[in-house]
Amino acid sequence: MTIVYLTLGLIAIYLYVSSASLLWEGIDRKLVARMQRRMGPPILQPFYDFLKLVSKESIIPRDANKLFEIAPVLALASSIALLAYTPLGFEPLLATKGDVIVFIYLLGLIAFIRVIGAVSSGSPYAQIGAQREIIMLASREVPMMLGLFAILWRLSKLGVEKPFSLGTFYQYNIWEIGTPLTIVGTFVLLIVFLLWLASEIEVGYFNIPEAETEVAEGPMAEYSGRHLALFKLSNALKEFASASLVVAIFFPWGISGYIGLTGIAAMVLDLVFHTLKVFAVLFVSMSVFRAITGRLRITQAVGMFWSRILPMSLIGVLLLVIDVLGVIA
Partner 1 sequence: MTLPFLVILPLFGAFSMPIVSLLGKKLKEYWAVIISGATFAVAAKIFYTVWKTNEIILYTLGSDNPIGRGVNFPIRIVWEVDLFGALLALTITFVGFLAIIYSLGYMKHDTGLEKYYTLVLVLELGMLGIVVTGDIFNFYVFLEIMSIASYALVAFRNDTWEGIEAGIKYMFVGSLASSFILLGIALLYGQYGTLTMSYLAIKIAENPTLVAKVALAFLIGGLLFKSGAVPVHMWLADAHPAAPSSISAMLSGLVIKAGGVYAIARIIFSIFNPGLHTYLRTFNAPAINMDVIGWVIVFFACLTLLVGNAMAVVQTDMKRLFAFSSVGQIGYIMLGIGIGVLAYGTRAGELALAGAIYHIVNHALIKALLFLVAGVVIHEVGTKNLNELSGLAKRMPLTTFFFIIGAAAIIGLPPLNGFASKWIIYESSAMYNPILAAIAVVGTVFSLAAYTKVLFTFLGKESERVRDAKEPEKSMLLPMLILVVAIIVMGLLPWQISDKIMIPAAKMLEQLNGEYILALLKFIGGA
Q: Is 220 exposed, middle or buried (0-12, 13-18, 19+ CB in 10 A)?
A: buried
Q: HSE (CB half, 13 Å, CA atoms) of 272?
A: 7
Q: How far is the CB of 162 from partner 1 (least distance, A)?
A: 17
Q: Which is nearer to partner 1, 120 or 275 (by Cβ)?
A: 120
Q: Is 318 in the site for partner 1 (CB under 8 A)?
A: no
DSSP assignment string, 183-241: HHHHHHHHHHHHHHHHHHTT-GGG--TT-HHHHTTGGGTT--HHHHHHHHHHHHHHHHH
* Chain Cα centroid distance, residue 159: 28
Q: Can you tell me the distance from the alpha carbon of 223 to that of 229, in angstroms, rounded to the nearest whole number?
A: 9
Q: Which is nearer to partner 1, 42 or 124 (by Cβ)?
A: 124
Site string for partner 1, 25-64 (x = CB under 8 A): --------------------------------------xx
Choices 117-125, 165-173, 220-228, 287-295 (CB under 8 A): range interacting with partner 1: 117-125
Q: Which helix (H) or strand (E) holds 85?
A: none
Q: Can you tell me the distance from the alpha carbon of 69 to that of 58, in angstroms, rounded to the nearest whole number?
A: 10
Closest CA to 214 of 113, 303, 297: 297
Choices 113-121, 200-208, 210-218, 261-269 (CB under 8 A): range interacting with partner 1: 113-121
Q: Can you tell me the distance from the alpha carbon of 286 to that of 24, in angstroms, rounded to the nearest whole number?
A: 11
Q: What angle do CA 189, 194, 200 make, to 5 degrees?
A: 120
Considering only residues 277 through 316, tell me which ones interact with partner 1, judged by CB under 8 A: none
Q: Can you tell me the distance from the alpha carbon of 37 to that of 40, in angstroms, rounded to the nearest whole number?
A: 9
Among 35, 77, 134, 146, binds partner 1 (CB under 8 A): 134
Q: Is 66 in the site for partner 1 (CB under 8 A)?
A: yes
Q: How far is the CB of 136 from partner 1 (least distance, A)?
A: 15
Q: How far is the CB of 216 from partner 1 (least distance, A)?
A: 17
Distances (CA, A) of 253 to 46, 88, 212, 259, 274: 30, 11, 38, 13, 9
**Under rule CB under 8 A, how many of the chain's residues touch partner 1?**
14
Q: Is 230 in the site for partner 1 (CB under 8 A)?
A: no
Q: How far is the CB of 49 from partner 1 (least distance, A)?
A: 28
Q: How far is the CB of 101 from partner 1 (least distance, A)?
A: 9
Closest CA to 282 of 236, 240, 231: 240
Q: Which is nearer to partner 1, 64 or 183 (by Cβ)?
A: 64
Among 21, 78, 120, 242, binds partner 1 (CB under 8 A): 120
Among 78, 127, 235, 313, binds partner 1 (CB under 8 A): 127
Q: Is 105 in the site for partner 1 (CB under 8 A)?
A: yes
Q: Which helix (H) or strand (E) holds 142?
A: helix 124-156
Q: Is 65 in the site for partner 1 (CB under 8 A)?
A: yes
By CB under 8 A, name the binding residues for partner 1.
Answer: 63-67, 102, 105, 116, 119-120, 122, 124, 127, 134
